[in-house]
Structure 1
Amino acid sequence: MVRKTHLGNAYVWTGAAFVLFVLISIIVKVGGASEFDSSVISVVQGWENPGLTHAMEWFSWLGSTLVVIVIAVLILIFLAFVLGHRKELLLFVAVMGGAPLLNVILKSLFQRERPVIHRLAEEGGFSFPSGHSMAAFALYGILTYLLWRHVRSRTGRTLLVAIASLIVISIGISRIYLGVHYPSDILGGYSASGVWLGLMIGAFRKFIRPS
């Protein structure tokens, strides 16, 4: 019963993430996100100052491909040799390997051009959904999931979720601040990655580690 409840919960929030991604995708495709994007960009870029720009550049760097790969490898080592995870490594690799591939596929389908207003950084490629947001959500989402059972206290678990959420949100905001993504790109990245993460966790709990 407990296992079925966990699987049911995973499927519920995976379904919710899928519905959210579909809605965002439709709105973006028909051009209905312009007012929302412009409003949020105006607020976020209105915070601009040298110190915050440095911080946003750091968060953006934290979500870059090379840095995510390095962090992922270090986490794999930690999970395997410190926490003794074995089967969970398959889940981690599936999540981290599939998220960027899914991002490439989705970007090629939507082919949305990046914003051209007030760029503080340069970035090539298409805009929707955000690759940084997808990678960050996948990395810190799966890390939170795998560390959850090692943290016994409610305070510790709350802190774990809060730290992971803060990093993911900060990386997303940094992409808006630097002018390389629309806010809808960020939300699309979070929801797309949420779908992938949920599917992989559901498959893991059903077929690899059902106990």
Structure 2
Amino acid sequence: MNLKSNLIIAFFISTICVIGFSLVSLLISDKKIIHFDNRVIAFIQGQETPVLTKVMEFFTFIGSAPFVSVLIILFVFFLYKVLHHRSELILFMSVIIGSAVLNGILKHIFKRVRPDFHRLIDISGYSYPSGHAMNAFTVFVILTFLLWRHIPSQWGRSVLIVCSSFMILAIGISRIYLGVHFPSDIMGGYLASGFWLTTAIWFFQYYQEKRYQQKYKRAGI
């Protein structure tokens, strides 16, 4: 796939994410998404059991800063020492740091208060967009992107996509179940992260292709 095709696809995806995020944000500001949020919360929290609560606490821990930090350190070591991919390491760190910064900026812009009913864990800070949702989407999507070409079999790649998708959804649902986020917070987090990832990955591929073109040009190919 050439650079122009990548640009078109990246522009299309990022545009959808921006429009989606803007729509969710507008509905939140106009208080027109409260009914949807309450219906989804009632359904998810209606499944509450002691065992399920422990499972959801486990998934929310996976999306937390301490666990994500450990995962980042391990993958940085893998990229640098095992694969020797320094450019991919830069992409990985850029999207992780950029996602955290973007989340902080958006939270302080919208300053949405967290749900105040049936909260199963204590947490402070603003609610929209969900930091856990952005963490999960950013980390697992970029891991999938970077590991994809190192997995030779289609079966292995399918497993990678299924596992990453499951973790992203499970972490998002856990935040609703535990009563610390509205469903729209999770949606906004996914969309904001989707925009950031699409933009960062396109710039990475643009840089890689230009570098290869210069290399071949110098070699006279």
Asked whether the two chains share a fold, i.e. TM above 0.5, the reply is: yes
- Structure 2: runs of 5 or more not aligned: 213-221
Contact 1:11 1:202 in 2 (8 A): no
- In the alignment, the residues of structure 2 paired with residue 158 and residue 8 of structure 1 have an alpha-carbon distance, to the nearest angstrom, of 25
Instruction: Tell me which residue corresponds to 1:50.
Output: 50
Contact 1:14 1:198 in 2 (8 A): yes
Instruction: Tell me which residue corresponds to 1:98.
Output: 98
1:8: how far off?
Answer: 2.5
Query: SS at the partner of 2:6?
Result: helix
1:84: how far off?
Answer: 2.5
Q: Does 1:195 align with 2:167?
A: no
Give the counterpart letter for 2:22 in structure 1.
V
Query: SS at the partner of 1:82?
Result: helix
Structure of higher CA gyration radius = 2
Instruction: Tell me which residue corresponds to 1:6.
Output: 6
Q: Does 1:113 align with 2:120?
A: no
Contact 2:3 2:209 in 1 (8 A): no
- In the alignment, the residues of structure 2 paired with residue 80 and residue 11 of structure 1 have an alpha-carbon distance, to the nearest angstrom, of 30
Contact 1:13 1:198 in 2 (8 A): yes
Residue range with higher mean Cα deviation, 8-17 or 85-94: 8-17
- In the alignment, the residues of structure 2 paired with residue 166 and residue 84 of structure 1 have an alpha-carbon distance, to the nearest angstrom, of 29
- In the alignment, the residues of structure 1 paired with residue 5 and residue 148 of structure 2 have an alpha-carbon distance, to the nearest angstrom, of 17
- In the alignment, the residues of structure 2 paired with residue 29 and residue 208 of structure 1 have an alpha-carbon distance, to the nearest angstrom, of 41
1:88: how far off?
Answer: 0.7
Encode CA deviations 1:8-40: one digit per residue, 9 max, x unaligned.
222221221111111111111111110110010
The sequence identity of aligned pairs, in percent, is 45
Instruction: Tell me which residue corresponds to 1:141.
Output: 141
Please list, as runs of the form range in 1=range in 2, the aligned pairs for 1:45-194 lying within 5 A after superposition. Answer: 45-194=45-194
Runs of 4 or more, structure 1, over 3 Å off, are 208-211
Give the counterpart letter for 2:103 in structure 1.
N
Report the number of matched residues: 211
- Structure 1: runs of 5 or more not aligned: none
- In the alignment, the residues of structure 2 paired with residue 204 and residue 106 of structure 1 have an alpha-carbon distance, to the nearest angstrom, of 24
Query: SS at the partner of 1:179?
Result: coil
- In the alignment, the residues of structure 1 paired with residue 27 and residue 157 of structure 2 have an alpha-carbon distance, to the nearest angstrom, of 35
